[in-house]
Structure 1
């Protein structure tokens, strides 16, 4: 997880398209103007996918109108709406990853329970800062296409690796048993996805703080669990 995220962003490469202008206009270069236009499409996507009709209920025409740009300009930036959704999903995860990594120095020397709670709260503060981010990360991306499923699972694997790394370090310090925590980490990430999805949809009668507290307790319960054999069925 600590490596820089590889961004898989589809950009349109239409053969024969007229070259983009390179001169300055009103004090801004062509690259700056294009970056601003790209950002406007992303912001419009966040609004419509995350707070409006959703990915499946949005058209290129409606999104372009929301961005205040043309459909021609959309296709100069993205091949499809799926490409835009893919970039938004990576952007939301990248932001959460940066916030967790930035919190690491502040938790050095803390015991496992406090360390885990602070790191998870750093993640949760980022991913839930805007309900639209929750919807992009846990709702709109599900079942879109095999490509998006691969992207979603790849990012989940990064979080699993991070949890396993933190658990291994805690085991070396003698705080928890030395064992393979990959299944537990995977189950925990699945719980985050499911619970935040249901909370976002209004199916969980709880505050966000209560949801976060429950998830932290769930992870700590598995990390601290003693080694034991389960009874035979």
Structure 2
């Protein structure tokens, strides 16, 4: 039919609309990792500054996010997701190792994922705290996820006779506080130790919880 327009293909520059949207979102998150996880930090960053750092417009920002808090929430989940993926991979690879070696592999993976980029530690342990009730709920939910993981590992170790049988939830919650605090202080330069030394200390603490004095694996 003469003069009829072809239906749009949805591609521009070789990319679909969904691909372009994902690319924009990625650029905003990468810029936020720099600004929130470095200088000036989440509370001193504006939408205009983030958009400029991403090389995009504020209009494009509001096409992807409602507020800067939404960006921080997404970034916090992403950083935790990277650490979780590293931990699960390490746990799978160390499944047949003795308890001490398995725990070491898991915590080296967790600490290595966060310490690979100091911005990740700041997002996880500093910038997310106290922003809003919504983000506090998210932060505590992710923390609860790590507690669940420790409890699962502890329960599996107890079932194999490698650890004392008990309810580990309270101990795991306390231990997670030690993990986060020590990694934050190490990242801030307040702890004079290598990352391996930090991991070794955390492993010693966890093994002390799993194998308390007086516990006999023979029952």
Return the TM-score normalized by structure 2: 0.90
| Contact 1:100–1:122 (CA under 8 A) maintained in structure 2 | yes
Task: Report the equivalent of 1:165.
Answer: 152
Q: 1:56 to 1:227 in 2, by over 3 A?
A: farther
Any conservation in 1 of the 2:104–2:199 contact (CA below 8 Å)?
no
Superimposed CA distance per residue, residues 165-213 of structure 1 (whole angstroms, 9 cap, x where no aligned partner): 1111111111111111111111111111212222222322322222222
Q: Distance in 2 between matches of 1:44 and 1:111?
A: 42
Q: 1:22 to 1:30 in 2, by over 3 A?
A: farther
1:220 aligns with 2:193: no
SS at match of 2:11: coil
Structure that is richer in helix per residue? 2
Q: CA deviation at 1:57?
A: 1.3
Of the candidates 171, 174, 193, which is equivalent to residue 184 of structure 1? Answer: 171
Q: 1:47 maps to what in 2?
A: 34
CA distance in 1, matches of 2:95, 2:189: 36
The answer to whether the 8 Å contact 2:25/2:64 transfers is: yes
Structure 2 Cα separation of the partners of residues 135 and 59 of structure 1: 18
RMSD: 1.6
Alpha-carbon distance, 1:124 to partner: 1.3
Residue 124 of structure 1 is matched in structure 2 by 111
With normalisation by structure 1, the TM-score equals 0.85
Tell which structure's C-alpha radius of gyration is larger. Answer: 2
**Match 1:90 to one of 51, 58, 77:** 77
Q: Count how many residue pairs are aligned between Structure 1 and Structure 2.
A: 208
Q: Which residue of 2 aligns with 1:211?
A: 198
